[in-house]
């Protein structure tokens, strides 16, 4: 339930999200000061920034299923894996309940990333608040968005479109690593991939 | 496709918006038309293949490949 306790946004991990946070906090402050909408121009700048065309260096496909996400990296060798939430009874004591997954998405930091979201059955929505990304995945449609991660770390999100019984239990976790680590991971297809689902085409 | 440089399907101004379903489908069709017209060994056709492999979900590609094999693919190749 929304209360005054959750007014703020998560720390940003993307330059666009940083701008969104500035706008949000600025607008909030002015709203409570009863000033005229001086931030209209600010908002327009942000809208244009969000529509910038940029050349991605990696494409990640994310397919929503009931009730897990599957990811495909097909730019080099064909890596695919499923990402299920870790059930609470199997969670380690330092794990995040309802947020941790078995296989995380590994992405390079400081690179423009294109993500294509679709779904296999019903409508899902792929979101990571720290990056300012929310994209619906609809069966038969491929939605594209771009983002840029400017620091390493783990970023969490949850499915944002009601999709059945376990809609609240199909989270998203991005592990952002330096580019050379990412290249090493891609070429060696290491243990963070779901074993039986791993497909290698050289 | 070297191990040291990350590259992927480029921005295509024919598909500037969020819905890039057609970019995937068009690249798939263009690759197979190119192959049919120029032969399997014609290297420039591989550009389309790289694009559709990057853009299209593998399940869609498998489904279309099966349809082409069985002669039920709805597009014109």
Choose among B3, B11, B18: nearest Cβ to A55: B11
Return the structure tokens found at A189: 């297809």
CB–CB contact B6 A114 (8 Å)? no
pLDDT at A70: 97
At B1, is the pLDDT very low, low, confident or very high (cuts 50, 70, 90)?
very low
Nearest neighbour of B3 by CB, restricted to A59, A141, A187: A187
Average pLDDT over residues B24-46: 96
Residue extents of the structural domains in chain B = 20-70
Task: Name the pLDDT band for A147 (thresholds 50, 70, 90).
Answer: very high
Closest-CA residue to A114 (of A94, A143, A139) = A143
> For chain A, which domains are there?
58-192 (2.60.40.420)
Interface of A with B (CB under 8 A): 53-59, 61, 63, 72, 74-76, 78, 80, 108, 111, 114, 116, 118, 120, 135, 140-145, 179, 182-183, 187, 199
- Residue A150's pLDDT is 95
Give me the pLDDT at residue A39, please.
Answer: 63
- Which of A24-28, A170-174, B5-9 is least confident? A24-28
DSSP per residue, B7-71 = --PPP-TTS-SSB-HHHHHHHHHHHHHHHHHH-TT-GGGHHHHHHHHHHS-HHHHHHHHHHHHHT
Question: How much is the pLDDT for A1?
Answer: 64
Q: How many beta-carbon contacts under 8 Å exist across A and B? A: 70
Per-residue pLDDT tens for A101-116? 999 999 999 999 999 9
Helix (H) or strand (E) holding A64: strand A58-65
C-beta neighbour count of A103 within 10 angstroms:
22
Which CATH code, of 3.40.50.300, 3.40.30.10, 3.10.20.740, 1.10.10.140, is assigned to B20-70? 1.10.10.140
Tell me the pTM.
Answer: 0.88
Q: At what angle do helices A40-50 and A15-32 cross, to 10 degrees?
A: 160
pLDDT at position A198 over 60: no
Measured distance CA(A84)–CA(A159) in Å, rounded: 12
Look up residue A122 and give its two tokens.
């019903």
Mean pLDDT of A163-192: 89
Interatomic CA distance for residues A15 and A13, integer angstroms: 7
- Give the pLDDT confidence of A3-23 residue by residue, as tens digits: 777 778 888 999 999 999 988
pLDDT tops 90 at residue A36: no
């Amino acid at each position: 339930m929304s209360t005054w306790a959750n007014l703020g946004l998560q720390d940003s991990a993307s330059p666009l999200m940083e701008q969104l946070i500035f706008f949000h906090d600025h607008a909030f402050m002015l709203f409570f000061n009863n000033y005229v909408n001086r931030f209209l121009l600010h908002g327009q700048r942000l809208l244009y920034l969000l529509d910038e065309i940029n050349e991605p260096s990696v494409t990640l496909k994310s397919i929503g299923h009931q009730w897990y996400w599957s990811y495909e990296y097909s730019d080099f060798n064909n890596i695919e894996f499923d990402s299920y939430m870790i059930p609470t009874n199997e969670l380690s004591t330092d794990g995040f309940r309802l947020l941790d997954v078995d296989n995380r998405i590994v992405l390079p930091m400081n690179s423009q990333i294109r993500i294509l979201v679709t779904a296999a059955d019903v409508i899902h929505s792929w979101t990571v608040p720290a990056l300012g990304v929310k994209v619906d995945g609809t069966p038969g449609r491929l939605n594209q968005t771009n983002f840029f991660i400017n620091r390493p770390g783990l970023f969490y999100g949850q499915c944002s479109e009601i999709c059945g019984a376990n809609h609240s239990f199909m989270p998203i976790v991005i592990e952002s690593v330096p580019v050379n680590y990412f290249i090493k991971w891609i070429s060696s297809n290491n243990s963070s991939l779901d074993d039986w689902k791993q497909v290698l085409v050289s | 496709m070297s191990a040291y440089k990350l590259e992927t399907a480029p921005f295509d101004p024919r598909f500037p918006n969020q819905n890039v379903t057609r970019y995937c489908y068009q690249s798939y069709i263009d690759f197979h038309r190119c192959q049919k017209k120029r032969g399997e060994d014609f290297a420039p056709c591989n550009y389309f293949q790289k694009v559709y492999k990057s853009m299209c979900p593998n399940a869609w590609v498998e489904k279309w490949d099966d349809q082409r094999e069985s002669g039920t693919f709805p597009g014109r190749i």
